[in-house]
A and B are shown apart, each in its own frame.
Chain A
Amino acid sequence: MMKITILYFARIKEVVNYSSEDVVLPEGVETIVALKSWLSDRGDTWQKLFNGSGVVRAAINHELVDDMATFDEGDEVAFFPPVTGG
């Protein structure tokens, strides 16, 4: 069991309808790909978000990471669309 904070931004924040949550994860959910899969089990909205055509990028503690990256107890994980600043 591990507790982390998840943040959502931009289009993804609008889809899930909130900007952050604290979650307690079951054993074995410690990579971005596993977290996406665990969240997808919440229902259609989440399934479409992580398995649809739109790219979802991730950061752990403010660093951009790929799907295989791992997080630890107390980490801040963020999900967001490809960035469009500048």
Chain B
Amino acid sequence: MKWHFFHPLPEAELSEAVYLNVSVQPEDFDTGHELQQLRAATPEAGALVNFVGLVREISQRGQLSHMLIEHYPGMTEKALQQIAGQAAQRWPLLGVRMIHRVGLLPAQGQIVLVAATSLHRQAAFEACAFMMDYLKTEAPFWKKEVGDFGEHWVEARASDEQAKQQWKLPR
């Protein structure tokens, strides 16, 4: 295994050939449109995998009306770039598109999009899972549930950290 995958890489070291597009924004996104753009940017792709995270209506505390997402402007964008770059170093990807929303999002709303293209499906499947596991444990976002119960900061889950650690095991 190659440990350098797990350290932040200067942007200059990333392969010029990989299309990486990362956004942090309050606005909603059109997944179909984003996937189409990614396909257009990487026409040689044979596989496109994507994940969309949503605001769950129901939490342990009750019915949610909104999820408030706070972030660390400046660090957030860098962290997502680094995660996409690490995935592109580890798998033969053609392109990556990541969008993470911030601010007050309604229940059932979209929070995050992670998409990857590659020649064959395995790289894109694994890279999307890797990027989500790293995003959940390293990118500086914090969720607060808002609902009929009041407001409550979401606790970090040990299972998310364990999921990330799995990627450090020899494969």
Chain A interface (Cβ < 8 Å from any Cβ of B): 7, 9-11, 55, 59, 62-64, 78, 80-86
Contact = CB atoms under 8 A, between A and B. Distances in A.
Nearest to A81: B142
A78 B24 CA distance: 19
6 contacts: A9-B142, A10-B153, A55-B156, A59-B72, A83-B139, A86-B141
B8 A84 contact: no
Interface string B116-150: 00000000000000001001111111111000000
B166 to A, nearest CB: 16
B136 A62 contact: no
Given A86-B112, A86-B141, A9 B135 contact: no
Contact of A84 (B75, B79, B112, B143): B143
Contacts of A80: 72, 140, 142
Contacts of B107: none
A56 to B, nearest CB: 12
A64 B155 contact: no
Contacts of B160: 86
Given A9-B70, A9-B72, A64-B138, A82 B53 contact: no
Interface string B31-49: 0000000000000000000
B93 interface: no
A85 B72 contact: no
B142 A10 contact: yes
